[in-house]
A = this chain, B = another copy of it.
Amino acid sequence: MKIEDIIQSKAMPLGRKTALNLMYTSNLLQDKTAEILKPFDLSPEQFNVLRILRGQKGNPANLCTIQERMICKMSNTTRLVDKLLAKGLVERSVCQENRRKVEINITEKGLSILAEIDEPIDEHNSNIIKNLTKEEIEAFNETLEKIRD
């Protein structure tokens, strides 16, 4: 269904239409992601932070590194990490080289919950590109990059 029909609004500037289409589609995706994560009691951003930590392959990450890589930058990463800490999915320690920093590591429990979630999430992610050719996907990702610049 075309975005114009969904939001019932014909004849808008092309930039506005494109922006609304992008945000609308992204929100659908995020809602679906949240639904998949719900049984695991994780929010999309908590999940995202766990994946960032897993990507560190054993090296700790500090809060500002996490924040830089987050999909949705938020004003309070401390408390988001607190939630993961309370669930035993991450560990936190003071960085000895620079005592202002904290070092955050994913725990075994964190890794194992991620391993469980990867399947349904990647299945959904494959699903969103199932109607697209490889060229189309490539072009789409490039267009997103140009939009960000």
Contacts and interface: CB of A to CB of B under 8 A. Distances in A.
Given A30-B23, A55-B8, A69-B8, A18 B146 contact: no
Contacts of A9: 51, 55
- Taken together, the copies of this chain in the complex come to 2
A139 B139 CA distance: 9
Contacts of A140: 18, 139-140, 143
B132 A146 contact: yes
Interface stretch (A76-84, A95-103, A109-117, A123-131): A123-131
Interface of A: 1-3, 6-9, 13-31, 33, 51-52, 55, 69, 71-73, 121-122, 125-129, 131-132, 134, 136-137, 139-141, 143-149
